């Protein structure tokens, strides 16, 4: 049985959706009304912070720091929402407006409930030796914020794919070196963060491949996929809900292990019951569309978990530099704004970016994902959500985009392995075609590695230059 060349184009399409989402970010920010709302929000938060910090020294620097930090938050929210919500909207499981609100709410909850661990790594773990130096430390972090904001905006204007997490980590390291020397950076912690950048896409790829293999075995390869699909997806929803509840409960200090387990079990029972009833109603609507509709509920759950994990992880990009500035501006290292309030403002900034600028990206990416294959999109979404959330609670900042790319790779490699095993005795494709397909995958790997290698030093260099300018 000859191979269908069109089967080998799907992987390229899956991989290109990531770049398409990043390129679409520029177009999503064009409506001037939304830009105006974003500017009003940034100004309002800066005014609120200035009022809350009235009487503090260097009030102007602090207000400017808050404004730049919230600008970063809005940018992050507008760029990354498609990774979470695109599959669910594209599959018709949820409307765009409702989906944006749900993901925005989950972003805020993730920031407040589970954002502390990663924020602590980005502050105490990365540049702990620079803390407590007062004004120089505050200027260092102000330069890091400004450098990351500048580089991200420039990359967006140039349609270049970058990671906001890599940008902020590189900017903090560069500003620390320029301010206090090479010894100011905790290179062991920096190495752990970089190791997380490498491991997280691999874990996401393995998990997405395992999910797709299980879906083929229990649902897609069945002669009648509806009954088995109902059971498999009910279990899947129950497990994902339990995982989200356990991780959310673990974010609270003082919650015992048995209590976390009990909450997780309760979440699993409620999630499974809701899925069982909802899927039964969907199946009753007609078998021809039942399987596609069966995937809708898990896609919604995955989008919400992804929103929670995104808020828990990427909030640190804003909260960590801002926290250091507020703790060192008056040389007392007292937190001028409550740490929870800082996380809340950061999460709200991400949520505003999601609501104002996320819709166009979700429509574009979601439609492309659905045309390719909703089951594969579900596997990628769940793998990305679980990976990002797990690393967030472990205190390691990761790139949600790169984790999503890892999920795409996992699905692609599994599909090729499965296809070759199914057609071992059939005529193979020409060597040139097989080589070209291997080359495409490696080119994407080189793109990702290139982004890791370039983003960090570029942001570090810009931050170092800004430190020198601020000293003048």
Q: How confident is the model over 177-201, as pLDDT tens digits?
A: 988 888 888 888 888 888 888 899 8
- At 363, is the pLDDT very low, low, confident or very high (cuts 50, 70, 90)? low
Contacts of 194 (CB under 8 A, 6+ apart): 452
| DSSP 8-state symbol, 55 | T
Query: Greater confidence, 254 or 22?
Result: 254
Q: Identify whether 1 is part of a domain.
A: no
Query: What is the rounded CA–CA span in Å between residue 396 and residue 381?
Result: 20
**pLDDT (tens digit per residue) in 408-437:** 788 878 877 777 776 654 455 555 555 555
Q: Identify whether 5 is part of a domain.
A: no
Q: Identify whether 286 is part of a domain.
A: yes
Mean pLDDT value across the chain = 75
* Structural contact between residues 173 and 123, judged by C-beta atoms closer than 8 angstroms: no
Residue 276 phi/psi, 5-degree rounding, is -60, -45
* Structural contact between residues 308 and 109, judged by C-beta atoms closer than 8 angstroms: yes
Query: What is the rounded CA–CA span in Å between residue 221 and residue 214?
Result: 10
* Structural contact between residues 419 and 212, judged by C-beta atoms closer than 8 angstroms: no
The pLDDT score that the predictor gives to residue 194 is 86
Query: Greater confidence, 321 or 42?
Result: 321
Q: Tokens representing 104?
A: 């925005």
Q: Which helix (H) or strand (E) holds 361?
A: helix 339-372
* Structural contact between residues 226 and 290, judged by C-beta atoms closer than 8 angstroms: yes
pLDDT at residue 287 greater than cutoff 60? no
- At 19, is the pLDDT very low, low, confident or very high (cuts 50, 70, 90)? low
Q: pTM above 0.95?
A: no
- At 371, is the pLDDT very low, low, confident or very high (cuts 50, 70, 90)? very low
The pLDDT score that the predictor gives to residue 439 is 36
**pLDDT (tens digit per residue) in 313-345:** 888 888 888 888 877 765 554 556 677 888 888
pLDDT at residue 160 greater than cutoff 70? no
Mean pLDDT of 76-85: 70
Query: What is the rounded CA–CA span in Å between residue 75 and residue 389?
Result: 20
Query: Greater confidence, 384 or 369?
Result: 384
* Structural contact between residues 279 and 230, judged by C-beta atoms closer than 8 angstroms: yes
Query: Greater confidence, 50 or 399?
Result: 399
Query: Greater confidence, 428 or 175?
Result: 175
The pLDDT score that the predictor gives to residue 370 is 36
Q: Identify whether 50 is part of a domain.
A: yes
Contacts of 423 (CB under 8 A, 6+ apart): 1, 3
Buried b (16+ CB within 10 A) or exposed e, 392-425: bbebbbbbbbbbbbbbbbbbbbbbbeeeeeeeee
Q: Identify whether 2 is part of a domain.
A: no
The pLDDT score that the predictor gives to residue 37 is 72
Q: How far apart are the first and last CA of the chain?
A: 72
HSE-CB of 23 using CA atoms within 13 angstroms: 7
Query: What is the rounded CA–CA span in Å between residue 32 and residue 129?
Result: 43
The pLDDT score that the predictor gives to residue 74 is 84
The pLDDT score that the predictor gives to residue 266 is 92
pLDDT at residue 404 greater than cutoff 50? yes
pLDDT at residue 308 greater than cutoff 50? yes
**pLDDT (tens digit per residue) in 251-282:** 665 677 788 788 889 988 998 898 888 777 77
* Residues 458, 462, 468, 469, Cα dihedral to 10°: 160
What's the total number of domains in the chain?
1
- At 2, is the secondary structure helix, strand, or coil? coil
pLDDT at residue 366 greater than cutoff 60? no
Query: Quick one: 248 exposed, middle or buried, by C-beta within 10 A (0-12, 13-18, 19+)?
Result: buried
Contacts of 468 (CB under 8 A, 6+ apart): 178
The pLDDT score that the predictor gives to residue 440 is 41
HSE-CB of 356 using CA atoms within 13 angstroms: 27
Query: What is the rounded CA–CA span in Å between residue 112 and residue 251?
Result: 9
Domain that holds residue 113: 10-471
Q: Identify whether 41 is part of a domain.
A: yes
Winning range, highest mean pLDDT, from 127-141, 289-303, 375-389: 375-389
Query: What is the rounded CA–CA span in Å between residue 425 and residue 437?
Result: 20
pLDDT at residue 206 greater than cutoff 90? yes
Query: Quick one: 94 exposed, middle or buried, by C-beta within 10 A (0-12, 13-18, 19+)?
Result: buried
Q: Identify whether 4 is part of a domain.
A: no
Whole-number Cα distances in Å, 64 to 43, 232, 325, 422: 10, 51, 11, 60
CA angle 296, 402, 457 (to 5 degrees): 155
């Amino acid at each position: 049985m000859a191979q269908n060349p069109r089967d080998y184009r799907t992987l390229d399409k899956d991989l290109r959706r990531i770049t398409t989402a990043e390129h679409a970010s520029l177009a999503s920010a064009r409506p001037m009304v939304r830009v105006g709302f974003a500017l009003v929000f940034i100004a309002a938060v800066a005014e609120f912070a200035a009022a809350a910090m009235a009487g503090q020294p260097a009030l102007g620097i602090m207000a400017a720091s808050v404004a730049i930090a919230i600008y970063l938050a809005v940018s992050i929210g507008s760029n990354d929402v498609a990774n979470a919500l695109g599959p669910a909207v594209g599959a018709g499981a949820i409307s765009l407006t409702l989906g944006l609100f749900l993901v925005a709410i989950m972003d805020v909850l993730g920031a407040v409930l589970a954002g502390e661990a990663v924020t602590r790594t980005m502050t105490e773990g990365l540049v702990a030796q620079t803390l407590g130096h007062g004004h120089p430390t505050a200027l260092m972090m102000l330069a890091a914020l400004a450098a990351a904001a500048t580089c991200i905006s420039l990359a967006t204007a140039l349609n270049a794919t970058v990671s906001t997490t890599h940008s902020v980590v590189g900017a903090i390291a560069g500003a620390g070196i320029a301010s206090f020397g090479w010894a100011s950076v905790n290179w062991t912690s920096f190495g752990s963060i970089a190791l997380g950048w490498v491991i997280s896409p691999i874990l996401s790829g393995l998990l997405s491949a395992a999910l797709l293999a299980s879906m083929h075995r229990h649902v897609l390869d069945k002669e009648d996929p509806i009954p088995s699909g109902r059971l498999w997806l009910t279990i899947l929803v129950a497990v994902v809900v339990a995982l989200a509840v356990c991780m959310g409960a673990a974010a609270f200090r003082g919650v015992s292990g048995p209590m976390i387990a009990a909450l997780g079990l309760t979440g699993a029972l409620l999630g499974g019951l809701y899925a069982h009833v909802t899927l039964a109603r969907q199946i009753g609507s007609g078998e021809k569309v039942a399987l596609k509709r069966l995937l809708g509920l898990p896609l919604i759950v995955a989008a919400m978990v992804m929103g929670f994990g995104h808020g828990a992880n990427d909030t640190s990009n804003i909260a960590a530099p801002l926290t250091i500035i507020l703790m060192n501006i008056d040389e007392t290292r007292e937190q001028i704004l409550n740490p929870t309030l800082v996380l809340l403002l950061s999460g709200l900034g991400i949520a505003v970016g999601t609501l104002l600028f996320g819709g166009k990206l979700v429509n574009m990416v979601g439609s492309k994902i659905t045309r390719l294959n909703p089951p594969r999109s579900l596997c990628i979404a769940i793998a990305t959500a679980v990976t990002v959330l797990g690393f967030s609670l472990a205190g390691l900042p990761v790139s949600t985009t790169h984790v999503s790319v890892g999920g795409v790779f996992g699905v692609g490699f599994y599909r090729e392995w499965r296809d070759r095993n199914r057609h071992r005795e059939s005529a193979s494709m020409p060597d040139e075609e097989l080589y070209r397909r291997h080359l495409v995958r490696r080119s994407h790997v080189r793109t990702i590695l290139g982004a890791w290698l370039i983003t960090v030093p570029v942001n570090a260099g810009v931050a170092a230059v800004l430190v020198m300018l601020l000293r003048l």
